[in-house]
Amino acid sequence: MTRDSNDEPRPTTPAGKDTGAGAGEAAGGVAGEGVQPGIEHFDAALTHVDDSYTSGDMAAGAAKGILYSLIETLGTLVGDPDLPAHARSGYEGLLETARELRARIDQ
């Protein structure tokens, strides 16, 4: 069971169903095995960290740790020579946003 924004339990999706995971994960694979994560997932993660830190629900150290992981992952994706140019520009934008958020938290 997982919880929604109202903190009420809701059933999880059975394996093999469309869960929003990348194709490799939904097919039982591991993320990163030839499957690029959707840009919307990174955007949602950055928005969550920003909102949680700004509202005081997340400590600065926790926010920095999550941002460190996001920045490292986005940097790896941007450096992928097989990444299409249109996807690269989206990941580069998110990478810059993550760096700006980290700088704001560091102040």
pLDDT band at 18 (very low <50, low <70, confident <90, very high): very low
Reported as type and span, the H/E element at residue 3 is strand 2-3
Distances (CA, A) of 43 to 19, 46, 74, 77, 83: 17, 5, 11, 14, 18
* Domain carrying residue 71: 37-107
Distances (CA, A) of 36 to 33, 76, 90: 8, 11, 12
Residue 31 pLDDT > 80: no
Residue 26 pLDDT > 60: no
pLDDT in tens, 54-67: 999 999 999 999 99
pLDDT of residue 33: 57
Examine residue 84 and state whether it is found in any structural domain, yes or no.
Answer: yes
Examine residue 68 and state whether it is found in any structural domain, yes or no.
Answer: yes
Examine residue 61 and state whether it is found in any structural domain, yes or no.
Answer: yes
Percent of the chain with pLDDT over 90: 57
What pTM was computed for the model?
0.65
pLDDT of residue 13: 40
Number of domains in the chain: 1
**Is the separation of the CB atoms in 26 and 18 below 8 Å?**
yes
The mean pLDDT of the chain is: 78
Examine residue 77 and state whether it is found in any structural domain, yes or no.
Answer: yes
